[in-house]
């Protein structure tokens, strides 16, 4: 049986950067300063001397006390900027609030109901100080953990920044999760304070968050107080002695607050991420290296300049929002959008109207969102003037070439390069990504960011060229996670045990003849058909490239002879109807695109695929259905009704 993942889908198109983008880019400017001729030379120089690269970046930030060593690498443990005294908030807020950026807008916030707020750096700094003082008064000290369960409202970044400012560790839990998830994470992190809101609306429907939190707080012994933001104006019950209104405890607070001088390696936050099995992993990031890594990537990948309007359309409850809505844009002193609602509410024109209204210049979203808009059709973006856009981004899953081209054409007007950034909660920052100076191939995340040594390994740790295998990282990077909270053994077992001193990402991918990376998905999404390992993402991509198909999910159905057979679930674009003919055409299409072994044996049309609230298809659920097994825990599903749809389709 072949051990290599078959990589059969070939994408031949190449998009060159325009000279307009290239010449004005931050990365080109940096290369000029150091007399670096081109992209290849940059990767070579940074690869040979990562400490030179990161020292240069770190010098653009403010240190209370300079570090005396850039890196200590004792695999699997890295320390960065040793003995430096630093606080990420000192850089994200203090220096802007007192400097020339004082009155620049830090955040433009838009609520689901179209209410808007503009918050300057100075105002944000003042709100953070007041809330930080309130936390101190409640007894929060350096090293304490605070659990935050808030929707996309300005108080969410304020709460995070306030914690960081006084040296407390925040643990944000995505507000779309069930309260049970909040309970588990509070207990794992032993938080003293929890923060939530009375409620918020999702597609016009009220979610009573505080009421939900009330059902779990008798099972969280570490919690002393619950702070409640009055956002929805709901008439809620406040428990005497435990519950406090945000606006009351901040009302009389001082507008200044000292920033705690932290060690570079002191923890900044815990963010829980789901592993393949069992309990969530508490990924720990630190002040110094994390700040340097996310600052560099936002500056060089998304090329942000002072007058840019940046919109990272993710939720702050995920790493994408932590890194690229809260911390990195503030470090760079630029304006970001925070949007409370869903992308297609009240209609599929919402995002595009916002791009026009706020003259967004750089826009970052997930492939699932792009495919959703493909399904609605290009008439929706066509209604708005998107000419302010200069650069686009993608993150979270492989973007299939058809979606890439659609995004390029209808959102970017064939004018904006797409930065398809590969990274993880654990990596904190982009690791494999284009830069504005790279040639792009739709569906490829291009090359490792300067200094990063990425590779594809076979089972024995040999490097593979043009064959699928394990995506590994062979060098440390500043914003790498330092451990899993209270589970140091799992840090070693899950990431550092398969190959010696090498980080196992858990993804599979391929490097092509030009050194370009093609990420194919998680290892557990790999099918094994008649001895060939085939990635679900490739079959899905082939299905989605067929006219009329909006989305597809592919899983393996155990087969005694072939190992697995391919079962596909297909969502059609509006105006297309399921039929036996279409089913056969689709199977034939995959056969032609990828090859006979990748042809789905089963193909079913469904209205919707089961997805997590972050938009990832939950193949585990589909797989269980296909195998006739119990679907297990589906509390993290955004659309549980899609599970019944699978039943009806089969």
Residues that bind ligand WT7 in the complex, under the rule CB under 6 A:
273, 318-320, 394-398, 420-425, 445, 505-507, 519, 521-522
Q: Cα–Cα distance between 431 and 421 in angstroms, integer? A: 7
Structure tokens at 219: 């099972």
Q: What phi, psi does 365 have (nearest 5°)?
A: -145, -170
Least gap, CB of 287 to ligand WT7 (angstroms): 20
Query: Contact at 8 Å (CB) between 529 and 568?
Result: no
User: Can you list the positions of beta strands (E) in 236-328?
Assistant: 243-245, 262-263, 267-273, 281-286, 309-312
What is the sign, positive or negative, of the torsion defined by CA atoms of 642, 643, 648, 650? positive
Least gap, CB of 69 to ligand WT7 (angstroms): 29
Instruction: Return the number of the residue (250 or 536) whose C-beta is nearest ligand WT7.
Output: 536
Instruction: Return the number of the residue (397 or 564) whose C-beta is nearest ligand WT7.
Output: 397
Least gap, CB of 387 to ligand WT7 (angstroms): 26
Buried b (16+ CB within 10 A) or exposed e, 194-225: bbbbbbbbbeeeeeebbebbbebbeebeebeb
Q: Cα–Cα distance between 414 and 23 in angstroms, integer? A: 18
Q: What is the DSSP letter of 327?
A: I
Q: Cα–Cα distance between 640 and 650 in angstroms, integer? A: 17
Least gap, CB of 441 to ligand WT7 (angstroms): 13
Q: Cα–Cα distance between 351 and 357 in angstroms, integer? A: 10
Least gap, CB of 32 to ligand WT7 (angstroms): 29
Least gap, CB of 149 to ligand WT7 (angstroms): 18
Instruction: Return the number of the residue (199 or 280) whose C-beta is nearest ligand WT7.
Output: 280
Least gap, CB of 493 to ligand WT7 (angstroms): 17
Least gap, CB of 305 to ligand WT7 (angstroms): 24
Instruction: Return the number of the residue (361 or 636) whose C-beta is nearest ligand WT7.
Output: 636
Structure tokens at 405: 């081209």
Instruction: Return the number of the residue (358 or 503) whose C-beta is nearest ligand WT7.
Output: 503
Instruction: Return the number of the residue (320 or 335) whose C-beta is nearest ligand WT7.
Output: 320
Residue whose beta carbon is closest to ligand WT7: 425
Extract long-range pairs of 586-594: CB within 8 Å, 24+ residues apart: 586/543, 586/546, 586/549, 589/542, 589/543, 589/545, 589/546, 590/539, 590/542, 590/543, 593/9, 593/542, 593/545, 594/8, 594/9, 594/534, 594/538, 594/539, 594/542
Instruction: Return the number of the residue (373 or 422) whose C-beta is nearest ligand WT7.
Output: 422
Q: Cα–Cα distance between 447 and 358 in angstroms, integer? A: 32
3-state secondary structure 73-95: EECCEEEEEECCEECHHHHHHHH
Query: Contact at 8 Å (CB) between 618 and 578?
Result: no
Instruction: Return the number of the residue (259 or 445) whose C-beta is nearest ligand WT7.
Output: 445
Least gap, CB of 402 to ligand WT7 (angstroms): 15
Structure tokens at 152: 């996309």
Instruction: Return the number of the residue (31 or 326) whose C-beta is nearest ligand WT7.
Output: 326
Least gap, CB of 506 to ligand WT7 (angstroms): 6
- Stated as kind and residue range, the H or E segment containing 360 is none
Instruction: Return the number of the residue (404 or 605) whose C-beta is nearest ligand WT7.
Output: 404
């Amino acid at each position: 049986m072949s051990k290599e993942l078959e990589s059969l889908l070939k994408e031949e198109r190449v998009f060159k950067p325009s000279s307009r983008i290239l010449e004005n880019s931050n990365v080109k400017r940096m290369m000029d300063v150091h007399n670096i001729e081109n992209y290849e030379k940059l990767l070579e120089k940074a690869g040979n001397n990562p400490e030179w690269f990161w020292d240069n970046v770190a010098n653009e930030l403010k240190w209370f006390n300079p570090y005396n060593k850039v890196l200590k690498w004792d695999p699997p443990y890295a320390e960065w900027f040793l003995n430096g005294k630093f606080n990420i908030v000192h850089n994200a807020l203090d220096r802007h609030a007192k400097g020339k950026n004082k009155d620049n807008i830090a955040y433009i916030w838009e609520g689901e109901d179209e209410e808007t707020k503009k918050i300057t750096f100075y105002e944000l700094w003042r709100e953070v100080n007041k809330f930080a003082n309130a936390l101190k008064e409640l007894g929060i000290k350096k090293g304490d953990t605070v659990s935050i369960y808030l929707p996309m409202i300005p108080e969410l970044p304020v709460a995070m920044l306030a914690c960081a400012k006084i040296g407390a560790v925040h643990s944000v839990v995505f507000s779309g999760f069930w309260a049970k998830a909040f309970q588990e994470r509070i207990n794992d992190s032993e938080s003293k304070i929890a923060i939530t809101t009375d409620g918020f609306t999702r597609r016009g429907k009220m979610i009573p968050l505080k009421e939900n939190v009330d059902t779990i707080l008798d099972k969280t012994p570490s919690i002393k107080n619950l702070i409640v933001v009055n956002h929805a104006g709901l008439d809620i019950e406040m428990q005497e002695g435990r519950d406090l209104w945000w606006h009351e405890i901040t009302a009389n607070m001082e507008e200044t607050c000292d920033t705690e001088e932290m060690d570079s390696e002191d923890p900044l936050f815990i963010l829980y991420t789901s592993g393949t099995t069992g309990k969530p992993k508490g990924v720990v990031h630190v002040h110094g290296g994390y700040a340097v890594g996310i600052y560099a990537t936002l500056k060089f990948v998304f090329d942000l300049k002072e007058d840019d309007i940046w919109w990272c359309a993710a939720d702050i409850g995920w790493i994408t929002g932590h890194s690229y809505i809260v911390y990195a844009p503030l470090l760079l002193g630029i304006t970001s959008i925070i949007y409370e609602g869903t992308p297609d509410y009240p209609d599929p024109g919402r995002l595009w109207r916002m791009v026009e209204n706020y003259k967004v210049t750089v826009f970052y979203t997930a492939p699932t969102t792009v495919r959703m808009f493909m399904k609605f059709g290009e008439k929706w973006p066509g209604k708005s003037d998107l000419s302010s856009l200069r650069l686009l981004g993608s993150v979270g899953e492989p973007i299939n070439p058809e979606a890439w081209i659609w995004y390029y054409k209808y959102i970017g007007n064939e004018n904006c390069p797409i930065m398809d950034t590969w990274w993880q909660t654990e990596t904190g920052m982009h690791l494999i990504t284009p830069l504005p100076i790279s040639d792009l191939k739709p569906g490829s995340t291009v090359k490792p960011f300067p200094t990063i040594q990425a590779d594809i390994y076979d089972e024995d740790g040999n490097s593979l060229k043009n064959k699928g295998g394990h995506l590994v990282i062979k060098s440390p990077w500043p914003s790498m996670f330092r451990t899993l909270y209270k589970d140091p053994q799992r840090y070693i077992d899950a990431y550092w045990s398969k190959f010696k001193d090498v980080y196992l990402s858990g993804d599979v991918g391929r490097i092509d003849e030009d050194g370009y990376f093609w990420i194919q998905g998680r290892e557990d999404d790999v099918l094994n058909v008649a001895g060939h390992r085939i990635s679900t993402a490739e079959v899905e991509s082939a299905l989605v490239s067929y006219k009329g198909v909006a989305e597809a999910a592919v899983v393996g159905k155990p087969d005694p002879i072939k190992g697995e057979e391919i079962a596909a679930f297909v969502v059609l674009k509006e105006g297309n109807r399921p039929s036996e003919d279409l089913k056969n055409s689709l199977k034939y299409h995959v056969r032609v695109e990828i090859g006979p072994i990748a042809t789905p044996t089963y193909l079913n049309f469904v209205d919707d695929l089961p997805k997590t609230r972050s938009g990832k298809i939950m193949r585990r659920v589909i797989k269980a259905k296909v195998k006739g097994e119990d679907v297990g825990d589906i509390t993290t599903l955004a659309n549980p009704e899609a599970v019944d749809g699978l039943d009806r389709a089969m």
